[in-house]
Structures are given as C-alpha cells and as structure tokens.
Amino acid sequence: MAYGERGRRVPVVDLADRRALQRYRPADAEVIEEARRLKEAALLDFGLTESAVASWLYAKCHHQIPTTAVDTAAVVASGDGSCLLLYNPDFFVGLGLDGVKFVLFHEARHLVHRHLFADPDLRADPVFELASEVSINHVALVRLGRAELPLLNGRPTGVNPREVYELYRADLTAHGLEPLTYEGFVETDMRVYGELKRMHHPPVPERRLCVRLVADAVPADQETVDLVASSALLNSLLAARRGHPGAEVELLDLMGRTEDGNARAARLWGKLGAGVLRGETTRTRTVDWWQRWLVDVLASKLREGERLVYPKKRGALLAALGQDPLLSRRGPVRDKVLVIAYDTSGSMPNRVITWLTELVGRIDGVQAHWLSFDAVVMPFVPGERVYGGGGTSFQVVADYAEGRTEVNGRRFEETPDAVVMLTDGYAPPITPAEPEKWIWLITEGGDEWPDRHTPAMDCHRVTTGSR
C-alpha cells in the first residue's frame, strides 16, 4: 500500500481498533520480532541524524503495531487524538533496514503534508496526489542519500520522481511547451503540482502505490493530524534552536518547499515562529512577536548539556535494547523543569495563559509547574480558576522556586531550568539566584524593569490587543 505491488485493497479491519489489528492473522513470531527490530533501528537513525521531524512524529505514535491488516505501513490519526503506526511485518522484513527507513520517512512526510496542505479542493485532485508522491519521494531520496527507490523482491517500488519528470518533459515537448529542468521541477511542492498541471495528459497515480491514494483507507482525522504534526514541528524547531544542525537544515528545507504558493503553510510556519531559523523578524500579524521570542528564549534555556548529546554508536544501543528505545532517541536524560508563575494581582488576559498552556503542553521532555502569586505563592493546574488578592511580591516566587519556603507544607524539590514570570512588573525588583534562567513577560502598560536591572534578565512586553 505505501509501497509496492501488494496493496490493492481497502483494509480488512478498523484501523483504529488496536485489539482487532493485533488479532488479525498474526505473522510468525520471528518475523514480527525482526520487523520490530528494523523499525526501532530506523527510528533511531532518524533521531540521531536523518530526520528530526520523522523522529518526533513517531515519538507521538504511542502505539506501534505489527499487523497483517495493512499490506505495508501507515500512520493512523484517529478521532480521539491518538496516532498509531501500523506496519506489516512481512513487508518490513522483505524491505530490509534501508527500505524500512524510506517507507517510514515517506509516511511521516504524508502526515506533515496533510497538516500543511489541508485544502479539500487540492486534496481531491488526483494530480495533486501524484505531485505529493513525487515531492515526498524526491525529498526522501535526497535526505536519506539514496540513488534509487527501495527494492522489494528485487524490484524498485513507489512513485519514481525521475520517471514522472520524464513523462512531463515528453508531454510538454510534444505540445511545443518549454519544460523545466528536473531541479526546477522538484524545487517546491506546489511547483511539482503546477508543472504537472501544464501537461496535456497528466499521469494519474496508480492507486496501489500508496495507501494514502485509496480514498478514506486510512483514518486521518484532520484535528489529530494538526495536533501531532504541529507538535512534531515545534519540537524539531526547539531542537534546531538548541543547536541540532540536522533539524535546522531539515526545517529550513521543509519550510522553503511548502510555503511557496501555499498560504496555509506560510501561516502555520509563521505561527510556529520558524522564521527565526532564517533570522527573520515578524512578517505576519496573526502571531505576536513576543510569542516567537518566547519560543526562542525557551529553546535556549532548555538547551541540553554537553553530556546529553545523542549516543553515537547505534550498534551499541541496539545491543542494549530491552531499554525503552524512545528514550535513547529523545536525547535528554531527564525532563527539563519549567516554572511558570502568573501574577494574579494584575489583569492577565486569558488568551495569554491559554496560548502558553498550549505551547508548554506541546513541548516534549518538559515538566511544567504552574504557580499563581500575589503576596503569596499558590500552585495551580492550568484550567483551574485562580484568585488574586492584594499586594505583589516577586521575592515569594524566587523563595519558593529556589526551595527556601514551603507552600501547603511542601518545599519545591526541583531545580528549575527556566522560570517564566507573567506580570505587569509592578512590585519591588528582585535578583534571583540564577537570573539567567528567568524570563519576564510584561503585560501592556507594565514596567519592564528586568530589562534595566543589574544583571539584566530576559524580558519582553506581551501585546494583548486584538490585532
């Protein structure tokens, strides 16, 4: 289905039903074990070097199920917000490691595509479907450093971008039109589509080549796709800002490929604040600069220490399997600790809290502690109503976050990696023990003293107008 001559059918069981999937005609235990090993090795390679985006995306598929109910592999995004990776064990063993990596990269890219190109008219066009296959396989060949499509039973499988290009060139030449070079043709995703549309007879993809090409064959609830894909992109962006060079190159390339001629993708990249990778300042008005600034500052505060770099030898890691391989892929040894303190004495628009809650919720490997404060500190859970009283003290937050005072009879036992203060800034200035970890978000009309303080701390004004 994703690849090869095997898939021709609509799935035999409900692809969101985990138990039915596992029950359906199980493959041999040895084959299942080998397929699982190949899958883990492929995902490990993504995390180490080849694709931060695919690595994060699969980290979000909490269930990864070998099943013969699909012919190849597919990511299911079901309506309850969960993502499943389904893979046919015989198919994976037949492909070998290189082929498995290609197929898993291809599937991850489909999900990202679905997130960035959600226009129903576009998606209904078979030429667009083919264009997606061409783009995705072109990128997979380049990123994975391959000359050819994966082989199954000795034959290349999948849509070959060069072959489609040759059809395009012949069609245009026959009708007296000037074709682009191959490099020009595959430069961006909409370019491939636009150029295929210039053909008198655009090729129609063979339905059997990819499971995505069988209408409704794979549940792909748009909301779930958006949630999972945007979270994977955000975490890749944070990894890039923390200095993961592979993630930076991959995101820059993905951004360049998808935003050309695609207003939705340009908007989504803008919301993510991904322009910082290009050194851009704000271009859209749908997202405020302070939000991008915060993403960037947080990324630097949550930077991994040197001893937390990815292990280099995959062989050694695989030998050590039995450990949860997700951990080795994710890099950080421990969760980063983030404290978010919210000044209830001023007027803090709910929109800011909601945005911050969603942002923090999408960052993996972060343990968030929410506090509200006025003259005292009160831990709270996002969504809970918080009450403010009189007087404001920043020192009470510092005393609590630095473990000196108790709240409800308990001290804060963690050492925060970052402390975000949401406040109007009106209270006596403080100098925390580790000022470099503090981030001050000052509401409109507030006092930006942390900027002028000695030592100066990261500080930005939150714009809350309805622009």
Q: Is 210 in the site for Zn ion (CB under 5 A)?
A: yes
Compute the least distance from the CB of residue 59 to Zn ion, in Å: 21
For Zn ion, the closer CB: 16 or 210: 210
Compute the least distance from the CB of residue 5 to Zn ion, in Å: 15
For Zn ion, the closer CB: 133 or 288: 133
Compute the least distance from the CB of residue 213 to Zn ion, in Å: 7
Compute the least distance from the CB of residue 158 to Zn ion, in Å: 8
Stretch that binds Zn ion, among 92-100, 209-217, 280-288, 399-407 (CB under 5 A): 209-217
From the list 294, 282, 276, 284, the residue with the least C-alpha distance to 237 is 276
Q: Is 212 in the site for Zn ion (CB under 5 A)?
A: yes
CB of 227 within 8 A of CB of 21? no
Stretch that binds Zn ion, among 45-53, 69-77, 212-220, 284-292 (CB under 5 A): 212-220
For Zn ion, the closer CB: 209 or 430: 209
For Zn ion, the closer CB: 127 or 210: 210
For Zn ion, the closer CB: 159 or 234: 159
Around 188, how many Cα atoms within 13 Å sit in the side-chain half-sphere?
14
Compute the least distance from the CB of residue 133 to Zn ion, in Å: 5
CB of 217 within 8 A of CB of 206? no
For Zn ion, the closer CB: 118 or 375: 118
Q: Which residue is nearest to Zn ion (CB)?
A: 210
List the x/- string, 374-413, binding to Zn ion by CB under 5 A: ----------------------------------------
Say which residue the tokens 């409900």 belong to: 14
For Zn ion, the closer CB: 44 or 139: 139
Binding-site size for Zn ion (CB under 5 A) equals 2
Compute the least distance from the CB of residue 2 to Zn ion, in Å: 6
Which 254-293 residues touch Zn ion, going by CB under 5 A? Answer: none
Compute the least distance from the CB of residue 110 to Zn ion, in Å: 5
Stretch that binds Zn ion, among 19-27, 204-212, 322-330, 379-387 (CB under 5 A): 204-212
Q: Is 301 in the site for Zn ion (CB under 5 A)?
A: no
Compute the least distance from the CB of residue 28 to Zn ion, in Å: 27
The site for Zn ion (CB under 5 A) is made up of: 210, 212
